Amino acid sequence: MTAPNLRGKEELEEAVAIVVAKYSDYLRRCSPSADEDPKAFTAWHAGGRAALAHLEHLLKLLKPTGGAAEAVAAGEDLLAQASSDMGPPDDEE
């Protein structure tokens, strides 16, 4: 899959949909156990946080364009759920 060329609202909507789908797939894969392999778990966790940061930035770009409500809602719902599941960022703990 090639990355969308982010030139307008439709491309941003597509990028949000891709990030939401890929992140959901990422979570469905088995996460390594923090007890069994702390380094692998840390890498997996950091990857999830990076995807969420990417999604957050895409939503900030999409909202002012009047992007599709479904794309914005799906992204915001995923961010809210992940934020609740993960707890505060490392620098806030």
Distances (CA, A) of 11 to 2, 54, 68, 69, 92: 12, 15, 11, 14, 33
Per-residue pLDDT, 25: 85
pLDDT digits (tens, 9 = 90+) for 6-60: 567 888 888 888 988 888 888 777 777 778 888 888 888 888 888 889 888 988 8
In-domain check, residue 48: yes
Show contacts of 40-46: CB within 8 Å, 24+ apart: 45/86
Is residue 3 situated within a structural domain? no
Sign of the torsion angle spanned by Cα atoms 47, 84, 79, 92: negative
Structural domain including 14 reads 9-86
* Residue 40 resides in a domain: yes
**2 inside domain:** no
Question: Is 51 inside a domain boundary?
Answer: yes
C-alpha to C-alpha distance for 75 and 93, rounded to whole angstroms: 25
Domain count for the chain, please give it.
1
Residue 93 in any domain: the answer is no
Q: Do 11 and 58 form a contact (C-beta atoms < 8 A)? A: no
Note whether 67 and 12 are within 8 A (CB): yes
Any domain includes 66: yes
pTM of the complete model beyond 0.85? no
**Position 15 in a domain:** yes
